[in-house]
């Protein structure tokens, strides 16, 4: 992977990070919903031996296998375990009522760091952190103002602008679509950036938007995609977690019938999951690297909570995957690079709220 840079000092995310890939080669498995986190084995004397560093992770409702940011975060922890021998464990949440119990399970059992993954967990992480000031927690996609919480957010709107440019220049119907999960600020940033990128490349192009209201309902994603493709759009960008699996399913069904449709993935390089024949590109959020870096810093004694980190194009926190070269023509990627440099230079300010 490319070097991952921070807006802040190395106390939170080191400027020297260079990962060779956060894969899933490790065999550690997540605990079941509400299940017990892994505990250190007792010694022969009956007392628990002093454990190595232990890092726990609580998913939002999408679960570990959401093909999106929960899975990316878990891959980052698996890589950490492989590289440093850190003990890692995940608890999956099927509803928001499980967030606090799952977070508390790690905290009360004395785990060194507990991650909450996703914007929806912000208030819950705040509550647990306040009630347990000596515990260390971290969160992705939300800012929690507490000295014992490391917050990492991304400038999704910047990366989404670039895939908007790709969509506009690749569309043959002059109509594209956006499928969002829940109507929350982080997803609005995806929508805002995408629309801005489309309009920057083709000012008169139509963008059809549907919010499904869920991150874990592929059937709703399939229905939304059907509606958008049915209105004449040929490319859909989704930011909907596991719900987006349904967008890919609908695209594949139409592709099999001879329709020239595409999906733009989110968070991970989703062509690796759904195939390059239907995945045009993806707006990658390097969640795996963020989780890896913050956790590794703790292992190296460099923990410093209370200072949020925001990662955009300049920090290589968002962007397009290398596989885009296999599906997007070189001249379009050059145009994308031009827009990217203008955003980094401050010549273009990408909106965080959608505008018509």
pLDDT at residue 29, rounded to an integer: 43
More confident residue, 50 or 106: 106
The pLDDT of residue 188 is above 70 = yes
More confident residue, 264 or 68: 264
Q: How far is the C-alpha of 220 from the C-alpha of 268, rounded, in Å?
A: 21
Q: Quick one: which of 57, 73, 158, 61 has its CA closest to 114?
A: 57
Q: What are phi and psi of 324, to 5 degrees?
A: -60, -30
| Mean pLDDT on 179-199 | 97
Structure tokens at 29: 């498995």
User: Taking the domains of the chain in order of start, what are their residue ranges?
Assistant: 54-154+286-311, 156-284+321-345
Q: Quick one: which of 247, 248, 162, 167 has its CA closest to 207?
A: 167
Q: Quick one: which of 109, 117, 108, 154 has its CA closest to 138?
A: 117
pLDDT at residue 304, rounded to an integer: 83
| Mean pLDDT on 13-17 | 35
Residue 238 Rama label (left phi>0; alpha psi -120 to 50; beta)? beta
pLDDT at residue 21, rounded to an integer: 35
Which single residue is written with the structure tokens 């400038």? 155
pLDDT at residue 221, rounded to an integer: 98
Give the predicted TM-score (pTM) of the model: 0.82
Same topology for domains 54-154+286-311 and 156-284+321-345, yes or no?
Answer: yes
Residue 233 in contact with residue 211, Cβ under 8 Å? no
List beta partners, residue 151.
139
User: Hey, what CATH class is 54-154+286-311 in?
Assistant: alpha beta
Task: List, for residues 208-240, the tens digit of each pLDDT value.
Answer: 999 999 999 999 999 999 999 999 999 999 999
Task: List, for residues 114-147, the tens digit of each pLDDT value.
Answer: 999 999 999 999 999 999 999 999 999 999 999 9
pLDDT at residue 52, rounded to an integer: 84
pLDDT at residue 213, rounded to an integer: 97
More confident residue, 275 or 44: 275
Burial class (CB in 10 A: 0-12, 13-18, 19+), 18: exposed
Instruction: Kindly state the percentage of the chain with pLDDT values over 70.
Output: 85
Map residue 178 onto helix, strand or coil.
Answer: strand
Task: List, for residues 45-93, the tens digit of each pLDDT value.
Answer: 333 333 489 999 999 988 898 888 899 999 999 999 999 999 999 999 9
The pLDDT of residue 337 is above 60 = yes
Residue 57 in contact with residue 102, Cβ under 8 Å? no
24-28, 100-104, 206-210: range with lowest mean pLDDT: 24-28
User: Hey, what CATH class is 156-284+321-345 in?
Assistant: alpha beta
pLDDT at residue 356, rounded to an integer: 67
């Amino acid at each position: 992977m490319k070097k991952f840079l921070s807006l802040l000092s190395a106390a939170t995310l080191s400027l020297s990070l260079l990962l060779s890939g956060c894969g899933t080669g490790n065999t550690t498995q997540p605990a079941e919903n509400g299940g017990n986190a892994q505990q250190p084995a007792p010694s022969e004397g009956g007392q628990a031996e002093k454990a190595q560093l232990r890092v726990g992770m609580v998913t939002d409702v999408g679960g570990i296998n959401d093909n999106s940011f929960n899975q990316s975060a878990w891959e980052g922890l698996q890589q950490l375990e492989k590289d440093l021998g850190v003990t890692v464990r995940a608890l999956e949440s099927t509803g928001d009522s499980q967030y606090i119990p799952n977070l508390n399970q790690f905290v009360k059992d004395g785990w060194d760091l507990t991650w909450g993954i996703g914007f929806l967990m912000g208030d819950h992480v705040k509550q647990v952190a306040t009630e347990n000031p000596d515990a260390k927690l971290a969160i992705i996609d939300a800012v929690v103002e507490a000295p014992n919480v490391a917050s990492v957010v991304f400038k999704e709107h910047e990366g989404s602008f670039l895939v908007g440019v790709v969509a506009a220049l690749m569309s043959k119907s002059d109509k594209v679509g956006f499928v969002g999960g829940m109507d929350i600020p982080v997803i609005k940033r995806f929508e805002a950036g995408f629309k801005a990128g489309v309009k920057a490349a083709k000012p008169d192009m139509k963008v059809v938007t549907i919010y499904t209201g869920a991150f874990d309902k592929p059937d709703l994603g399939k229905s939304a995609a059907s509606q958008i493709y049915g209105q004449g759009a040929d490319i859909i960008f989704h930011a909907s977690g596991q719900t987006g699996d349904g967008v890919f399913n609908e695209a594949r069904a139409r592709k099999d019938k001879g329709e020239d449709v595409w999906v733009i993935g989110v968070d991970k390089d989703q062509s690796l999951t759904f195939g390059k024949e239907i995945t045009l590109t993806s707006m990658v959020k390097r969640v795996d690297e963020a989780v890896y870096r913050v956790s590794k810093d703790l292992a190296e004694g460099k923990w410093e909570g209370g200072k949020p980190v925001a990662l955009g194009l300049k920090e290589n926190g968002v962007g397009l995957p290398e596989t885009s070269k296999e599906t997007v023509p070189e001249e379009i990627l050059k145009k994308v690079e031009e827009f990217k440099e203008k955003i980094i230079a401050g010549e273009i300010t990408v909106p965080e709220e959608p505008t018509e």
